[in-house]
C-alpha cells in the first residue's frame, strides 16, 4: 500500500472530530472520500498532511510512519496537498506560483522523464501556459484551481490530496478540472479526492470511502454508490 491510515483520531480542543478512521490507497489508485458537511473530510486530509496533529493512530506512507510529522516533512516524503481555498499568490505570475511548488516537495532528478516540469504542466494545462506571465490574481476560479493543482505537482508527489476541487466553479470548468485529475492519475500520481460533486467523484474513483455518523471511513463499493439511491440518501445527500 502507498498510504495506510489506521485508527486515526484527531481532536480540535474538546471536540473529537476524527474517531478512528481507517483507509488505504494503493499505488496508482484514485480514491474518493465522500460525506456530508462537517464530517471531517478536510480534517482527514489535514491530519495526513501534518497541518493538524492527530492525537493517536498511524499514517504509513510507503511503509514509513509519518503521523505527527510537520507538513514540510510530509511534502518531502512525497505527498502533495491542494487545499480547498487554493492559496494562489495573486501578485505573483502564474509561472512564479508554479515555481513555488518545487520548494515544498521532493527534489526531482532532472534526468527522470516522469519528473514534473513547467513544460509538462503547461502541456496538461494549456490555459496556464497562455497566462504564464500574468498575475495569479487575474485567473478565473477554475484557472486558479488548475494552478493550485499544477503547483503541487511541481513538488513531484506520489500522492496528491485534493480537497473539493470543483467547489464554486462553473460547469465547464468543473469538467476541465475533472479531466485534469484523470490525466494526472493516468500519468501515475495516486489521488485522494474529497468532492461534493458526486457525478465528478464517481466518474473518477476506483474506490470510495464514506464518512458519516454511522460509518467513519467505511469502504463502499463504487457501483453501489453509483446505483444505490438509498445508500446515497443515507450517507451523502443533504
Ligand atoms: N480549526 C478548527 N477548530 C475547531 N473545529 C474545527 C476546525 N476545523 C474544523 N472544525 C470542525 O471539525 C468538524 C469537521 O470539519 P471538516 O472541515 O473536516 O469537515 P468536512 O467534512 O471537510 O466538511 P465540509 O464538507 O463542509 O468541507 C466540523 O464540525 C468543524 O466545524
Ligand atoms: Mg471540507
> 199-237: per-residue pLDDT in tens?
899 999 999 999 877 666 678 888 888 888 887 887 777
- Does 15 fall in a domain? yes
Give me the number of domains the chain comprises. 1
Q: Is the pLDDT of residue 189 over 70?
A: yes
Q: What is the pLDDT of residues 110-135, one digit of tens each?
A: 677 778 899 999 998 999 999 999 99
Q: Which residues of 210-236 are buried (b: 16+ CB within 10 A; e: fewer)?
A: bbeeeebbeebebeebeeeeeebeebb
DSSP 87: -
Name the pairing type of β-strands 3-12 and 56-61.
antiparallel
Could you tell me if residue 43 is inside a domain? Answer: yes
How much is the pLDDT for 216? 67
* pLDDT for 102 beyond 90: no
Ligand nearest to the CA of 15: 1
CA-closest residue to ligand 1 atom 11: 38
Whole-structure pTM value:
0.93
Whether 54 lines ligand 1, by a CB cut-off of 6 Å, is no
pLDDT of residue 98: 94
pLDDT of 221 reads: 82
Residue 160 domain-assigned? yes
Give the domain range for residue 176.
3-84+156-235
Question: Alpha helix locations (H) across the chain?
Answer: 41-49, 71-77, 94-104, 118-124, 126-130, 141-153, 171-186, 198-204, 222-227, 229-235
Give the residue-averaged pLDDT of 100-118.
Answer: 75
Q: Is residue 116 part of a domain?
A: no
Nine cell digits for residue 77: 516524503
Q: Would residue 130 count as lying in a domain?
A: no
Nearest CA to ligand 1 atom 4: 12
In a domain, 10, yes or no: yes
Does the beta carbon of 217 sit less than 6 angstroms from any atom of ligand 1? no
| Ligand 2 centroid from CA 90, angstroms | 23
Q: Is residue 174 part of a domain?
A: yes
The rounded percent of the chain whose pLDDT value lies above 90 is: 70
Task: Please report the pLDDT score of residue 105 as a whole number.
Answer: 64
| pLDDT attached to residue 212 | 79
| Residue whose C-alpha is closest to residue 21's, from 71, 195, 1, 42 | 42
Is residue 164 domain-resident?
yes
Among 41, 47, 161, 192, name the best residue to mutate to test ligand 1's pocket (greatest count of ligand atoms within 8 A of Cβ): 41
Q: Which atom of ligand 1 is nearest to the CA of 196?
A: 25
CATH code (residue 7):
3.40.50.300
Amino acid at each position: 500500500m502507498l498510504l495506510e491510515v489506521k485508527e486515526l483520531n484527531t481532536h480540535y480542543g474538546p471536540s473529537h472530530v476524527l474517531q478512528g478512521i481507517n483507509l488505504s490507497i494503493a499505488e496508482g489508485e484514485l480514491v474518493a472520500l465522500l460525506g456530508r458537511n462537517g464530517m471531517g473530510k478536510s480534517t482527514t486530509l489535514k491530519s495526513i498532511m501534518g497541518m493538524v496533529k492527530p492525537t493517536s493512530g498511524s499514517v504509513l506512507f510507503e511503509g514509513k510512519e509519518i503521523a505527527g510529522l510537520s507538513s514540510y516533512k510530509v511534502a518531502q516524503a512525497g505527498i502533495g496537498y491542494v487545499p480547498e481555498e487554493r492559496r494562489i499568490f495573486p501578485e505573483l505570475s502564474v509561472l512564479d506560483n508554479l515555481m513555488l511548488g518545487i520548494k515544498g516537495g521532493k527534489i526531482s532528478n532532472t534526468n527522470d522523464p516522469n519528473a514534473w516540469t513547467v513544460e509538462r504542466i503547461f502541456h496538461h494545462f494549456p490555459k496556464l501556459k497562455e497566462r504564464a506571465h500574468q498575475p495569479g490574481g487575474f485567473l478565473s476560479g477554475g484557472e486558479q484551481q488548475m494552478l493550485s493543482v499544477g503547483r503541487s505537482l511541481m513538488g513531484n508527489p506520489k500522492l496528491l490530496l485534493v480537497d473539493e476541487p470543483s467547489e464554486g466553479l462553473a460547469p465547464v470548468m468543473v469538467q476541465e478540472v475533472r479531466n485534469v485529475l484523470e490525466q494526472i492519475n493516468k500519468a501515475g500520481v495516486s489521488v485522494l479526492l474529497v468532492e461534493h460533486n458526486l457525478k465528478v467523484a464517481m466518474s473518477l474513483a476506483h474506490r470510495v470511502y464514506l464518512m458519516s455518523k454511522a460509518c467513519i471511513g467505511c469502504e463502499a463499493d463504487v457501483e453501489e454508490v453509483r446505483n444505490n439511491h438509498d445508500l446515497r440518501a443515507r450517507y451523502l445527500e443533504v
